[in-house]
Structure 1
Amino acid sequence: MIHRPENLTVYGAVGSGSIAVEAALTLLGIDYELVEAPTWEGEAERAKVAPLNPLKQIPTLVFPDGEVMTESSAMLLWLADAYPEAGLAPGLTDPRRRQFLRWMSYIPASIYSMFWVLDEPSRLAAGPEAEAVIQERTIERIADCWRMMDEQVEPGTYIQGEQLTVLDLYVTVVSRWRPRRRRFYEVAPKLAEVVRRVDEHPLLQEFWAKRFPLEGGWEG
């Protein structure tokens, strides 16, 4: 039986990788303490996270007993499995579970991880010219990964049918990042229909407005 603590602390930031986790907590009706830590803004923000996560990254999730969890996909999987009555993931014996786990691993491995390069190409490039090339090629790689996923899924209302899962939340949030939604809509038309539904989900409207507002021109 999974222990289900609800006094959780989330280190995150507006528009960041914590948003999918926060959206799941919102759908589950779980109150949590939020520590705003936009780590890309400088050392002072990274210092908030450093004692908990040596990578100095968000999201970082802290349990009441002090246990720390990192990696957004792990948090989403844990939340979905800890609260099965919410239906945010196929159950262990559900035949959809294999593909659910596949795509929940694919996003951080093939897409999310690319932003380590895209956001700071100087980590790999020797100068501005090389940085521009790396950024361009990384954006193309991200778009191509979305295309490959789109070709291999057959969504219903949501990616795996009629039930919203944390996979839908994950894709919705990450697809808002570069190369932005207009390109995403072009390369992943089936997934595009899904993320638009999640954008408009009635239980998430107040949350989106507060934590990832869809401002003018946000689609790219």
Structure 2
Amino acid sequence: MISDRKLTFYHSAPSRGNIVHWMLQELGIEFDVKMIDIRNGEGQTPEFLALNPLGKVPTIVHGDTVVTEAAAICCYLADMFPAAGLAPAFDDPMRGEYLRWLFFSPSTIEPALIDRVRKQEAGDRSMSPYRDWDTLMAMLRDVIGNAQPWILGEKFTTVDVVMGSAIRYGRMFDILPETPVFEDYIRRINLRPAYVRMQEIEAPYVEASMAV
């Protein structure tokens, strides 16, 4: 039974682990948390490197299964716990669109945000994961602007957890432009009870990290 498998979430706050923590709150399932102080080298212990050779969070262990990378973890969790309704079924025609946008965030949006912070140009458009900044912004405005109210329509899905986190991060640090399209979408995220719970649980860890 899937529900009988112990689920351990390796996390560090603040980090991309927040994406998985939000996902876990949306699922409403039981899990253990092991906080890893990445800055103090806890990600480099032999025990943790055996789980994630890059020494990164988030990482989960579900029974005998180890999953790393935030989007992959969220995809796995949605499929393992289908009762939450956060992913289309495998035979649902929306499954392709779901997977497209689920992995669009780490493969396309995040590289663009990093380049923007570093003030790097996309370079050769044919080799850039996001073509160029203006093209990506036009695409994001269209996708988020047409959310009704969520990216795949009326139903909130894992896509909103993963891509929503990227949009929220981009606006939090003024990497993405201020526009009602993004702000309205973020406001809808902020009203989700699972997101509120995640933020409340994370707050002490974030405050402690800022005090160091």
Indicate the TM-score class for this superposition, using the shorter chain for normalisation: 0.7 to 0.9
1:45 to 1:146, Cα distance in 2 relative to 1, 3 A: farther
SS at the partner of 2:54?
coil
Q: Judge conservation of contact 1:14–1:211 (CA < 8 Å) in 2.
A: yes
Q: What is the aligned counterpart of 1:148 among 131, 134, 139?
A: 139
164, 174, 188: which is aligned to 1:197?
A: 188
Map of 2:153 onto structure 1: 161
Deviation at 1:92, TM superposition (A): 2.1
For structure 1, which runs of at least 5 residues remain unmatched after alignment?
A: 119-132, 216-220
Deviation, structure 1 residue 82: 1.8
Aligned residue type for 1:9? T
> In 2, Cα distance between the equivalents of 1:19 and 1:134?
21
Q: Distance in 1 between matches of 2:186 and 2:51?
A: 32
1:180 aligns with 2:179: no
Q: Structure 1 30/89 Cα, relative in aligned 2: closer, same or farther at 3 Å?
A: same
Q: CA RMSD of the aligned region, Å?
A: 3.2
Alignment partner, residue 135 of structure 1: 118
Q: Hey, what's the Cα distance between the residues in 2 that align with 1:212 and 1:87? A: 28
* Structure 1 contact 168–195 (Cα < 8 Å) conserved: no
Assess if the C-alpha contact under 8 Å between 2:171 and 2:178 holds in 1: no
TM-score with structure 2 length normalisation? 0.75
Residue of structure 1 in register with 2:56 after alignment? 57
CA contact (8 A) 2:13 2:202 kept: yes
| Aligned partner (choices 59, 63, 74) of residue 76 of structure 1 | 74
Q: SS of the counterpart of 2:33?
A: strand
Identity of aligned residues (%): 27
Task: Give the match for residue 9 of structure 2.
Answer: 10
Residue 199 of structure 1 aligns to which amino acid in structure 2? N
Post-superposition Cα deviations, 1:137-164, rounded to whole Å, max 9, x if no partner, equal: 379x796545423324521011111111
**What TM-score, normalized by structure 1, do the two folds share?**
0.73
- Superposition deviation, residue 54 in structure 1: 0.6
| Counterpart contact for 1:73–1:105, Cα < 8 Å | yes
Where 1:62 maps in the other structure, the secondary structure is strand
Q: Residue 118 of structure 2 aligns to which amino acid in structure 1?
A: Q
Q: In the alignment, residue 165 of structure 2 is paired with which amino acid? A: V
How far has the Cα of 1:51 moved from its partner? 2.5
Q: Is the 8 A contact 2:143 2:151 kept in 1?
A: no
Query: Which sections of structure 2, spanning at least 5 residues, go unmatched?
Result: 123-129, 208-212
Corresponding residue for 1:170?
A: 162
Q: Structure 1 residues 82 and 27 mapped into 2: Cα distance closer, same or farther (>3 Å)?
A: same
CA contact 1:171–1:195 (8 Å) conserved in 2: no
